[in-house]
Structure 1
Amino acid sequence: MMLGGHGGFSPVAAVAQRDRIFLAQRNDAGTVSLAWANVDPDAVPEVPKWVASGPLAMHMPATAIDAEGRVVVACLAATGRLYVARQKSGADSLGEWTAVG
């Protein structure tokens, strides 16, 4: 599968969610690019649609699934603060990035 994306210079963080994989990577602009990739073996392969989001990141983002089955993304911003964004309920998009602490 070709990943496409906005370039970047860090490994891709990934977490499985049902029949797809959520991807996150620090992009060429230094923010975070996000995408959902379909991994259904019966579906036609497609290059994921990437969206740039989040603060200026110092390192690669981390991904996880919370207790409600939603994707959670975290990254350390250039300011040194940790930012987190959580998947909107029932949507293929994230809510606002929130500083922790």
Structure 2
Amino acid sequence: MNEVDDAIPILQKVLTLAPGSQMASVELARARAIRQKEREHWSRSVNRRFPKTKQNKNTKLSTLSKVKLVMSSRLMVVTSVVAILSVLIGLFTYIYQPTIMNFNT
């Protein structure tokens, strides 16, 4: 691209000195086309890497992210631990209830 950028001003000067030069006008058109293609290429590359539109803020969160958001406060963590422990104790007593009753007799 640097060669093209260097060639364009030179070709323009040649055309001002010899306006009827077919070779200079063809080469100038070719150099301008190459420069335009390079600009479009880099523009597409930049747009792919850095899109202008903002990403949708309402993207769906993963389950782990939702849990992290809910568990962010200490009160919620303590409440969750107490609830889980009470469910586990209830499940334990339900499963081993016949065994506990046999010890009482």
Specify the TM-score bucket, using the shorter chain as the normaliser: under 0.3
Task: Indicate the structure with greater strand content.
Answer: 1
- The higher radius of gyration belongs to 2
